[in-house]
Structure 1
């Protein structure tokens, strides 16, 4: 393949970093790579990438430097030296405060900074199904949007560099809650000999139903008005008590249900017993 696009450096060749490098190569971008363990670069070099002898050499080899390592501390350790004229796109997991600090450090060294979060598995990278959220100066994002589209569908969240990490955290909480709920439900059904696979059709229906509620819940959370059209919090509390009682009877872990009920009880005690479930957002807004 002729690599005639914008040169790109990829630092970090784990599962995700390797997928990023391959996507840039497949899109026709000259790709320079570096990884602490050089053997991880063998396959990518065989596909046409150039292996730099050091992170510093890799950084100077391309105007766009994409970093995908374990965390923001590792990013800071790799970006050791001048960054004059380079745009650093950090796709490593971290915290909003560390992202903002990295943006300041990159600017101090003469570079520009975008933070990002990959909302996809490595296998999807390089396709439109891979959504990559970015935060940082919009003109900077737009200047590199065409090149970055090689790895997936880009979504710019705002000028604050910390927004990508913040959205990633919010999405992880959502994901864990959904997965924990499914696994908890599978454990309950398992006591009656019902397999998790047999539960899937009903679980998918429930997930689709809840997804349909989200636009209205978002409006309620934004405006602080909690409609009880789909049931009051007091009604939910009664159902939560039933889940806890039956879980204990069956010998199934009831910690998740107890936590959910405790949050709902606090909301009811604050005067939201007759409100809808979205009133729980006020509990999550408190330390």
Structure 2
């Protein structure tokens, strides 16, 4: 059953993301209790009406779901293990960046202590929270998701991916891998353009349009990879080898390190050596599995 009143919420962790989450919940009318390991990060939230507590034990007594947004998996245990008895029968929503198996471990730990557990992957930076374009992916307890969906959607678009607590973080890190590779490619390109006197800002305009156009190919690549048939390439691995070899030469000529592009070249070279040069570039995924 979805919540029909402004449920109280506790937020543990007041880094930039925790502050953004708590501020958005407050703005949405939810009584919000906050805690942070080091003092001084609750000033603005206190002025906005949040209740700040000096200890985790006091924070979790406030009622309602407990949103955990800490540094890493270990910090979740460091924070919650001492109050595990107080958490029995409670709902924990972990928005800390935890790897899939770490999320599953936390779900098992929670179940062993009578805690209902929902894991989430935040697809946003702190200023995006509560704004269009932000999303948070969830998996684990469907009961928590359904009961508090209204509050969760104050924070960002909310999507549920099933009872495997590690599925949301798998999506999270897969998308982040895509993002980091994209930004790495931009930095490499900007470094090359600097060698001929073109600013990163000027290059960014052209790069954004190019990457946007290329991203339209994702659905076709997805279908091709799912089919497993790489025998009818538009451009073969051999073609892409020539392109990557040239990019590496041009990078060295420009005095640019090849840390971002060399791994792609290595993947292609390995496939060529194995006799797969006539196959589609998308076959590269098979080298990763």
With the shorter chain as reference, the TM-score category is over 0.9
What is the rounded CA distance, in whole Å, between the counterparts of 2:154 and 2:260 in structure 1?
40
Q: Distance in 1 between matches of 2:267 and 2:233?
A: 20
Q: How does 1:13-92 map to 2 (within 5 A)?
A: 13-79=14-80, 80=82, 81-82=84-85, 83-92=87-96
Query: How many pairs align?
Result: 282
Report if aligned partners of 2:185, 2:261 keep a CA contact under 8 Å in 1. no
The answer for the alignment partner of 2:117 in structure 1 is: 113
- CA RMSD in angstroms comes to 1.6
Identify which of 174, 177, 181 aligns with 2:181: 177
Unpaired segments ≥5 residues, structure 1: none
- The residue matched to 2:118 in structure 1 has which SS? strand
Distance change >3 Å, CA 157–CA 270, structure 1 → 2? farther
TM-score w.r.t. the length of structure 1 is: 0.93
Q: Deviations over 1:188-229 (max 9, x none)?
A: 111111111221232122211221000011112222123655
Aligned 8 A contact 2:22 2:45 in 1: yes
Superimposed CA distance per residue, residues 25-52 of structure 1 (whole angstroms, 9 cap, x where no aligned partner): 0011010111112321121011011112
2:250 alignment counterpart: 246
Whole-angstrom CA distance in 1 between matches of 2:164 and 2:274: 34
Counterpart of 1:7 in structure 2 is 8
> Quick one: which of 128, 131, 151 aligns to 2:132?
128
Write out per-residue CA displacement over residues 251-285 of structure 1, whole angstroms, 9 at most, x where no aligned residue: 22123333211101222333431222111101111
Partner of 1:270 in structure 2?
Answer: 274
Look up the SS of the partner of 2:6 in the other structure: coil
Q: What are the ranges of 5 or more consecutive residues in structure 2 without an aligned counterpart?
A: none
Counterparts of 1:145-164 in structure 2 under 5 Å? 145-164=149-168
Give the distance between the partners of 1:279 and 1:269, measured in 2 at CA. Answer: 14
SS at match of 1:187: helix
Look up the SS of the partner of 2:256 in the other structure.
Answer: coil
Q: Give 2:211's aligned residue.
A: 207
| Structure 1 moving runs of 4+ over 4 Å | none
- Bigger relative CO (Cα 8 Å, ≥ 6 apart): 2
